[in-house]
């Protein structure tokens, strides 16, 4: 089958378009004919080698973390899906590879595609939807009447998280550029901070939760908008000791994670704020709950551009510019 392959870790290196064997189907897997795949900054970071200590993929391997497609064949233990089903998924770590004509995905990572979405729309949702869910619902326990700041509201995670937070009954603030103010307002943001002309740290206070996809000064400043007992949750790092334990990392890597996050954890602790890092995981059950919200019209996908399969390298380069509004998708069929 045709696929885009990482032959070696290399910063901004082009993926090789070539032939690889069709994936082996295990007992709990379903074989999916890929119709569309969403692209994420995670893909470029893995290609660059930034995650090789945490996600030790051995080149050559196929990239890609979002899939929408049709079930071709199922493993002997699979009961929930059958050939012909239209599905979407974020395959679990160690089993990624959606930049290909076919992929084998564990049944536990999969949900039926929302009936009201195209394949391209469905492929835009799994990674960002699960990320937002695991931050706002699972980790933050966000509830009606609370206030949440969602950084980078026009990005893939941001566009989904704004809609989910509004559904949960929260007051939503977000940061974005001047050009995207109308977009985030249309998604439900109550307070919009144009980061080119305004300082969110001076405008906001007394917030319960911050979802940060940005590092450096923005992460540090986010502590100042939270009230005591608030939660600063980062999806861009630095990783914390809890994450290291969850990943089962060795003693040395656990100490590295502890050191990387020491500064922000100390500042958070002194302000009586809880800091944590979320690295999303595949979860078919959560994806089914997201499907219900999509089919009810509560969540809608936001897609910037759709590329053809042969243009996957161009699509990844576009994602890396950081200018995409919502998600970038590649269409195979």
Mean pLDDT for the stretch of residues 92-105? 97
Q: Is the pLDDT of residue 82 over 80?
A: yes
Task: For the chain, list the domains and their CATH numbers.
Answer: 2-125+301-331 (3.90.180.10), 127-277 (3.40.50.720)
Torsional class of 227: left (φ above 0), alpha (ψ -120 to 50), beta (otherwise)? beta
Q: Model confidence over 175-232: pLDDT tens digits?
A: 999 999 999 999 999 999 999 999 999 999 999 999 999 878 899 999 999 999 999 9
What is the chain's mean pLDDT, rounded?
Answer: 96
Across 150-154, 159-163, 262-266, 313-317, least confident range? 262-266
Question: If you search the block for the tokens 């391209």, which residue do you land on?
Answer: 120
Q: Model confidence over 146-157: pLDDT tens digits?
A: 999 999 999 999
Three-state SS at 82 = coil
Contacts of 266 (CB under 8 A, 6+ apart): none
Q: What is the edge-to-edge ordering of all strands in the sheet holding 191-194?
A: 191-194, 171-176, 147-150, 207-212, 226-234, 274-277
């Amino acid at each position: 089958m045709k696929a885009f392959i990482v032959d070696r870790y290399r910063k901004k290196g082009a993926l090789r378009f070539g032939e690889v064997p069709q994936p082996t189907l295990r007992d709990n897997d379903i074989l999916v004919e890929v119709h569309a795949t969403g692209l994420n900054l995670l893909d470029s970071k893995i290609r660059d080698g930034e995650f090789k200590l945490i996600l030790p993929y051995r080149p050559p391997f196929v990239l890609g973390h979002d899939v929408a497609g049709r079930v071709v064949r199922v493993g002997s233990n699979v009961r929930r899906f059958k050939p012909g089903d239209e599905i979407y998924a974020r395959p679990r770590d160690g089993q990624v590879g959606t930049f290909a004509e076919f992929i084998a995905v564990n049944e536990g990572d999969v949900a039926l595609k929302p009936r009201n979405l195209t394949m391209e729309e469905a492929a835009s949702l799994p990674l960002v939807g699960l990320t937002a869910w695991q931050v706002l619902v699972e980790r933050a326990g966000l509830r009606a009447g609370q206030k949440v700041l969602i950084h980078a509201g026009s990005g893939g995670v941001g566009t989904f998280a704004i809609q989910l937070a509004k559904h949960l009954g929260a007051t939503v603030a977000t940061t974005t550029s001047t050009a995207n103010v109308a977009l985030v307002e249309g998604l439900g943001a109550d307070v919009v901070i144009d980061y080119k002309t305004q300082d969110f740290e001076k405008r906001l206070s007394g917030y319960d939760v911050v979802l940060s996809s940005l590092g450096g000064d923005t992460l540090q400043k986010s502590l100042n908008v939270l009230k005591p007992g608030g939660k600063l949750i980062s999806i861009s790092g630095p990783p914390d000791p809890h994450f290291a334990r969850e990943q089962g990392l060795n003693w040395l890597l656990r100490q590295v994670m502890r050191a990387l996050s020491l500064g922000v954890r100390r500042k958070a602790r002194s302000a009586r704020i809880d800091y944590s890092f979320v690295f999303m995981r595949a979860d078919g059950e959560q994806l089914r709950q997201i499907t219900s919200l999509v089919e009810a019209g509560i969540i809608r996908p936001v897609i910037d551009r759709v590329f053809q399969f042969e243009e996957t390298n161009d699509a990844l380069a576009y994602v890396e510019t950081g200018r995409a509004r919502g998600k970038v998708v590649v269409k195979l069929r």
